[in-house]
Structure 1
């Protein structure tokens, strides 16, 4: 395990252990069988992004001739790369074992995933026709031997590396090599005709393997084989300094350049022939110092996220029906209700429709003058965007702060930016040197010759698709001081040289670190004199060493600290003399835990905040984030209740310890699964 003076867990290693928790879900027999396959896909997709971003960053440090100890938690960059590769190979092996086990369990459920050698005559006929009609027209095949320049492999694609041994009367064995790109426009899992109660599936790769003869008819060969390979490239955006280009042009150019970024990982089928592997590595200039990882027969296993359900609802999680917010009707005016009191939306337990209702009402209300909103990630067919376009068509002034550098959503946001701009919406493209990660909206409505503001502040993106699986809080409010300060944040987007002061909101990059430090100091002071002192925090990731040190200081002063961190956690809890008053858990389950919640005892009068920011250096210092205090006592209690529900979890909670072994937390009493209990909590509230 990588630590720095026994104080910090290295963030890259901690992230890998988070992904191990995702892998645990694919092995957990309490998880429905097809959902387990989908968790395997999430594990693979996460790992792809890790190599594109984090591994690539560490590799850049190595190539720059630096050791990186100051930014890598005390670990030398070169040693860290080696440790990452070792862990990934171990996890890859484990994931293949899990996949094999799931395959056996699927067969017990009459679901059979066939390889090309296992097809019946009827299935062979189906596969040939499917290949000719659907696959062959989309197939990209390249013969490699005679090329002067090796083709650039896409980091989002998987390839079959084909080796042919040609027939020869001379006795000399001539070899030909080729690459087949697995088409992305076709489902990876092809459902074959059902036979009785038996369901059959063939993976697209194997369907292509079966049809190799049809592809290479022009070659006379005595042997042919195909093994999968995959390349992962550095996904860092390199922005040029050409002043003649617009910001959109620079982002577009950077996204395009990402396609040919330096390779950072090469994964291959471990059963591939040594001569084929050597040929590919030489042609692709892949060194042994790169992350070269032997894998299984199939790569791009992220596609398992889309494994077909086959109508087997019994092998999937039960679908929950998102609940209404108690007291907030979808029938009347949502603005009138918010004018009376604040409301909390907690997706996916509550329906996301309240945000859409808010925006649609604002778009039509003749008294609404303007709408301002931040956009980080939108759904593919976004009703949020449609509502904003509807508003501008109704004569409203609509301003959208859109973050073009939202990682891996850059192209989608560029397209939305062009669409919104074409409709007459005013766009703001970020703050120089900062990403805008805040999730906020303000509307201005004329009432009795005055301007009244309404809005919402969220911990997550305004995305109706991810709202079905991401847990996020959204506060609807017309609280005058909060709305006034929220409007200041939008002013900052347009006049970045002017730094505003805030009495209520906690805004990065200027105030988040200092405000939370003061709140922790208050708990320390209270603990020292024997007053009630505790801190309860729920975040995605915790990597800021300065904030870690601050919690260590609080722990030494006697402040009781409970942390629920889904992903990376650089803090080491439970160490005598340093962190014995800190407990930390991670919950990985059906939904992705995405809320950020902060509770401070404040000597019996708790201060409660929600925020878009984790305690990571980037969130504290290099992003525009907004945290919001909760003043409504009912909502404050509701948030503390939901924290306690999560804290009681003894089925899906894992402990953070010095061992970093992802041990499940075990407590006395009945089994308690927090995500299911949270839904029941809100169901019960509706009955009260």
Structure 2
């Protein structure tokens, strides 16, 4: 009996393997290969914090409720996860060794502290005293110290053994202060400036570890080995305590800091007695929880590894593209009035959106600005403009989702600042996350209110807009604007009934509207008309929607999918999904948009959305999908999708085993869709 759905956790690991493939690819610039290793590592940390933690939690619940068959299935899944991770970890270590060795051919050397010359050794010790020591506060371990409550899973630590002959070994823990100083230190040149040598902060502290404890603890020798913990990222909010939502969120964040570790990784050279001591102090019982790995922890910092060599060792920057319609008008509102405008980041300049908000902040005709905030940059110009808008007498309403995972603290800080500035801040909804990407500016024109709307697939974040691909649709379609305002009303007053005719709004009608569109394609095909479904998503794991696609395939409808991440749909199964083909693209930019195209007998219906096809996005979040009516914008979306389906360099086939085979090029020319996209948009925006 064939399975209907590929396990989403194993599929997620297949996605991260595609990231690792970018590090393995000799055609990827060398420094970028090292950075992809950092991305892989960062992804894996989040996987353990969220998905592995969830599986472990479900195992405990199933066992407590005596659902032993369910528990057995979950334990089997956890075993598969560990086996897959072990295989990927071995591939990671092998790739890391190859890349660092290859860097040496370009005169870039990453030195271990044991490889330093005498002159370098002296320089490093001086650097430690002048720049590092002030940031080091060791934890001297004894029976009173609750180590598990003192460790942060965003940090990397050294476990230090302080030896004294004939005495019990004393242990201490040192946090590597990567938030206070650089992790990669370029050593002064020796003899020739051609050779660039880098040492990690970890190795500097290991070399100088004696200086941290001298005079405080009696010891004759000290050894230090790195380790890192990964905690369960879930938290609970106590609804019975009479306190504000912000206070509850702040308290719930503390739960994460002391949550049970789901993984501990340590230096493979760590002595057995030190491992045993660490297990005891962190109360680790499962052997799966603690693992040995390479020399460095928190490899995610390698995402920012500096290029100290030639420019060709990293990707050449692509010029940001200006939209010609915006450029040809004095104000953003004049431009949007002329036609709907579709932008594609990071190819288009995100400055267009920040300018939309900046101009709205001082335009005398603007009366109200509404915005959803899920993730924003730490120094957000957008929020600064919203503060300016209040100073200029505008009404400003901002919905802040405090539970945006790993951005909670940032969002709490912003909500306090905006409230103090006089902005009306709506702190999400306790029962559903708000993930929509809406911004609506209301102007008074000739005595009437007119709405200028932004519907997007990505966050209002200047930083991620440089590395994530996402769409922004600007429109003054008043029906869309009024329905967008209704979404804000639904957030503020969730107990009223709402109807949306044009927008796909989770959890109100998004699922039913998508299902209706799929059924319509089946009907079109049955009637002998053109029928095809083309979708692009980050994740496709909702069983109900997958079943709908299976039914469409069985009816003969052709279905093409681009899925970057998790994909539980199994394509190519005879009698069930032979009409479904899926690819995944991983390249220099993170593919993030959600797009749906339904052939509709030749009169295509096109949508962009904030929602993936996951149960949480359909039923437990507020998401917005928006129809694209402008024919020019429609064609742009269709053209860009076709470019990705033509990719012969970075596209992988998603098959029944998710083996990540590259798309076979055959006689076709080399096409790298992200580069082709830049060329397409550049030509399109020529004046």
TM-score (norm 2): 0.96
Counterpart Cα distance in 1 of 2:590 and 2:238: 36
Change over 3 Å in CA distance of 1:117–1:289 after alignment to 2: closer
Aligned to 1:177, what secondary structure does the other structure show?
strand
2:169 is paired with a residue of what secondary structure?
strand
Which secondary structure state, in structure 2, belongs to the residue aligned with residue 193 of structure 1? coil
| Paired position in structure 1 for 2:211 | 214
The equivalent residue for 1:618 is: 616
Alignment of 1:217-616 (within 5 A): 217-218=214-215, 221=219, 223-310=221-308, 312-329=310-327, 332-616=330-614
2:24 corresponds to: 27
1:120 corresponds to 2:114: no
Quote the offset at 1:312 in angstroms: 3.3
Q: Does 1:177 align with 2:174?
A: no
Q: 2:650 aligns with which of 633, 652, 676?
A: 652
Return the offset for 1:666. Answer: 1.3
Instruction: Give the counterpart of 2:182 among 172, 179, 187.
Output: 187
Q: 1:210 to 1:337 in 2, by over 3 A?
A: same
Q: Distance in 2 between matches of 1:571 and 1:312?
A: 43
CA RMSD of aligned residues (A): 1.9
Could you say which residue in structure 2 is the equivalent of 1:83?
80
Contact (CA 8 Å) 1:342, 1:475: kept in 2 or not? Answer: yes
Deviations along 1:467-521, one digit per CA (max 9) or x if unpaired, are 0011000100001111111111111112111121111111110101100000000
Deviation at 1:645, TM superposition (A): 0.5
Following superposition, the deviation at residue 161 of structure 1 comes to 1.3
Match of 2:37 in 1: 40
1:331 offset after TM fit, Å? 5.7
Give yes or no for contact 2:372–2:398 (8 Å, CA) kept in 1.
yes
In the aligned structure 1, how far is the partner of 2:310 from the partner of 2:353?
A: 33
Partner of 2:368, secondary structure, is: strand
Query: Are the structure 2 counterparts of residues 148 and 398 from structure 1 closer, same or farther at C-alpha, using a change threshold of 3 Å?
Result: closer
Deviations 1:287-325 (A, max 9, x none): 125422211111100010111122632211010111011
Counterpart CA distance in 1 for 2:581 and 2:622 is: 29
Give the whole-Å Cα distance in 1 for the aligned partners of 2:659 and 2:64: 27
Equivalent residues in 2 for 1:82-121, closer than 5 Å: 82-121=79-118
Distance apart, 1:662 and its partner CA: 0.9
Q: Is the 8 A contact 2:537 2:593 kept in 1?
A: yes
Tell me the distance in 2 between the aligned counterparts of 1:75 and 1:585.
32
For residue 57 of structure 1, what is the aligned residue in structure 2? 54
Cα distance in 1 for residues equivalent to 2:71 and 2:608 = 32
Q: Secondary structure at the match of 2:440?
A: strand
Note if contact 2:401-2:433 (Cα within 8 Å) is conserved in structure 1: yes
Taking a change above 3 Å as real, the CA distance of residues 332 and 92 of structure 1, as seen in their structure-2 partners, is same
Alignment CA distance shift 1:446-1:220 (3 Å): closer
Q: Tell me how far 1:329 sits from its aligned partner.
A: 1.2
Q: Quick one: distance in 1 between partners of 2:17 and 2:65? A: 25
* Separation in 2, partners of 1:326, 1:597: 24
Relative distance call for 1:228 and 1:648 in structure 2 (3 A) is same
Corresponding residue of 1:677: 676
Q: CA deviation at 1:330?
A: 6.7
SS of residue in 2 equivalent to 1:445: strand
1-structure distance, mates of 2:70, 2:610: 25
Q: Secondary structure at the match of 1:603?
A: helix
**Offset, 1:85:** 1.7
CA distance in 1, matches of 2:254, 2:112: 36
Alignment map for 1:118-157 (pairs within 5 Å): 118-145=115-142, 147=144, 149-150=146-147, 152=149, 153-157=151-155
Contact 1:89 1:293 in 2 (8 A): no
- The alpha-carbon deviation at position 163 of structure 1 amounts to 2.2
Q: Is the 8 A contact 1:45 1:302 kept in 2?
A: yes
User: In structure 2, what is the Cα distance between the partners aligned to 1:287 and 1:330?
Assistant: 66
Measure the CA separation in 2 of the matches of 1:661 and 1:643: 23
Distance 1:192 1:33 in 2: 20
Conservation of the 8 A alpha-carbon contact between 2:324 and 2:686? no
1:222 Cα deviation (Å)? Answer: 5.2
- How much does 1:374 deviate? 0.6
Shift of residue 73, structure 1, vs aligned partner: 10
Query: 2:148 touches 2:258 (CA, 8 Å); kept in 1?
Result: no
Matched residues in 1 for 2:212 and 2:396: separation? Answer: 54
Aligned residues: 680
Whole-angstrom distance in 1 between the partners of 2:176 and 2:430? 40
2:359 match: secondary structure:
helix
Question: Is the deviation greater in 459-468 or in 423-432?
Answer: 423-432
> For structure 1, which runs of at least 5 residues remain unmatched after alignment?
none
Contact 1:533 1:600 in 2 (8 A): yes
Alpha-carbon distance in structure 2 between the residues aligned to 1:41 and 1:298: 11
Measure how far apart 1:78 and its partner are: 1.5
Determine if contact 1:157/1:181 at 8 Å carries over to the other structure.
Answer: yes
What is the CA deviation profile of residues 665-688 of structure 1, one whole-angstrom value per residue up to 9, with x for unaligned ones?
Answer: 112211110000000001111337
Q: CA deviation at 1:354?
A: 1.0
Quote the offset at 1:194 in angstroms.
2.1
Confirm or deny: 8 A CA contact 2:63 2:71 kept in the other structure. no
Retained in 1: the 8 A contact 2:62–2:71? Answer: no
The 3-state SS of whatever aligns with 2:684 is helix
Question: Is the 1:454–1:483 contact (alpha carbons within 8 Å) kept by the matching residues of 2?
Answer: yes
8 Å contact from structure 1 (residues 10, 75) kept in 2: no
1:284 Cα deviation after fit: 1.5
